[in-house]
């Protein structure tokens, strides 16, 4: 089966990333063997599942190592393949004393890359208080980093490969439907209502690069949101705009789903 490559790539927001997944699908069709992608960013996952999920001879499965994972690997296999494929994801503990040096997941990600990890070998990373963090990565990456030390600024870190069930995974939030009446549909107004933060705090999160709109960094607090838009705030989950309607007083009634 020859895949309609040009049609699948037309208008893609990430043609290079999608091209790699089309190559993966082609190989699965040729060899009849299931195959995993590397870790992918959320926008590429969603686009790939939307564009490639309709291919009649293939099925896709998304796995990130924990429910709600943002960075995931995609398993591609034939629809009639009933075999169970082992999940190629390993846990990683990253120990360090950050009592006097606040830490972010991006700090840890950069440090792991400096230590020899490839960016596409790394899944979700989260901070565990002031003692370092934890991560999900490929088994090969975990083996390479196990027992290795590195640095985040002036703090030494030590990596240990562990099973996923030995990690303290990020807590999962039960979905909640929220409703709020706002003077506008600005990012700062809706994020404030949905995440339960002051608008000043939302603006500070934007400046720190912690708030994203549809997985892209928010640059302006005044940007208008629309139905279907999703806000992601580091450590506070995701907010999806479900509906917007005008009130009699010319304000906006906004219904949101927070996860």
Q: Which of 182, 171, 175, 170 is nearest to 258 (CA)?
A: 175
- As given in the structure block, the two tokens for residue 186 are 């600005």
**Contact 2/30 with Cβ under 8 angstroms?**
no
pLDDT of residue 51: 95
| Angstrom distance (rounded) from CA 8 to CA 56 | 14
Q: Span 176-258: which CATH code?
A: 3.10.290.10
> According to CATH, where is 3.30.1370.160 located in the chain?
5-78
pLDDT confidence of residue 171 = 82
Give the CA distances from residue 39 to residues 24, 154, 171, in Å, rounded to whole numbers and listed in that order: 14, 29, 21
- Residue 113 CB-density burial (10 A; 0-12 exposed, 13-18 middle, 19+ buried): middle
Mean local confidence (pLDDT), 52-76 = 94
- In DSSP notation, 85-117 reads PPP--EEEEEE---TTS---HHHHHHHHHHTT-
Delimiting residues of CATH 3.10.290.10 domain(s) in the chain: 176-258
Pairing mode, strands 176-182 and 211-213: unpaired
Element (H, E) at 6: helix 5-9
CATH code 3.30.70.330 region(s) in the chain: 90-166
Q: How far apart are CA 42 and CA 182, in angstroms?
A: 29
Q: How confident is the model at residue 81 (pLDDT cuts 50, 70, 90)?
A: confident
The reported pLDDT for the residue numbered 126 is: 95
Average pLDDT of span 242-253: 96
pLDDT digits (tens, 9 = 90+) for 159-217: 999 999 999 998 888 899 999 999 999 999 999 999 999 999 999 999 988 899 998 88
Q: Which CATH class is domain 90-166?
A: alpha beta
pTM here is 0.85
Give the model's confidence band at 78: pLDDT under 50 very low, under 70 low, under 90 confident, else very high.
very high
Residue-averaged pLDDT of the chain: 95
**Percent of the chain residues past pLDDT 90, beyond the cut:** 88
Name the 3-class secondary structure at 31.
helix
pLDDT of residue 133: 97
* Average pLDDT for 75-96: 94
Residue 151 CA: distances (Å) to CA of 16, 92, 141: 32, 16, 17
Distance CA 236, CA 212 (A): 12
- Write out the two tokens for 24: 């993966």
- What does CATH list as the number for 5-78? 3.30.1370.160
What is d(CA 39, CA 237) in angstroms, rounded to the nearest whole number?
20
Q: Terminus-to-terminus CA distance in the chain, angstroms?
A: 39
Residue 19, CA atoms < 13 Å, CB-side half-sphere: 7
| pLDDT digit string, tens, across residues 104-136 | 999 999 999 999 999 999 999 999 999 999 999
Q: How far apart are CA 74 and CA 78, in angstroms?
A: 13
């Amino acid at each position: 089966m020859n895949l309609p490559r040009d049609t699948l790539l037309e208008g893609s927001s990430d043609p290079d990333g999608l091209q790699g997944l089309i190559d993966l699908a082609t190989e699965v069709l040729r060899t009849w063997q299931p195959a995993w992608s590397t870790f992918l960013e959320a926008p590429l996952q969603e686009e790939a599942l939307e564009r490639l999920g309709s291919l009649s001879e293939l099925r896709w499965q998304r796995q990130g190592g924990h429910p709600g994972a943002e960075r995931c690997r995609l398993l591609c296999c034939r629809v009639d393949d009933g075999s169970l494929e082992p999940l190629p994801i390993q846990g990683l503990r990253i120990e360090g004393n950050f009592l006097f040096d606040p830490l972010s997941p991006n700090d840890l990600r950069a440090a792991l890359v400096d230590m020899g990890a490839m960016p596409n070998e790394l899944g979700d990373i989260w901070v565990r208080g002031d003692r370092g963090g934890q991560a999900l990565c490929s088994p090969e990456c975990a083996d390479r980093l196990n027992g290795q030390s590195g640095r985040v600024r002036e703090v030494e870190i030590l990596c240990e490969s562990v099973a996923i069930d030995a990690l303290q995974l990020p807590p999962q939030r039960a979905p909640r439907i929220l409703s709020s009446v706002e003077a506008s549909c600005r990012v700062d107004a809706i994020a404030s209502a949905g995440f339960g933060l002051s608008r000043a705090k939302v603006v500070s999160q934007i400046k720190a690069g912690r708030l994203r709109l549809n997985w892209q960094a928010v640059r302006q607090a005044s940007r208008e949101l629309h139905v279907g838009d999703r806000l992601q705030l580091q450590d506070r989950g995701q907010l999806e705009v479900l509906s917007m309607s005008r009130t009699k007083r010319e304000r906006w009634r906004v219904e949101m789903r927070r996860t």
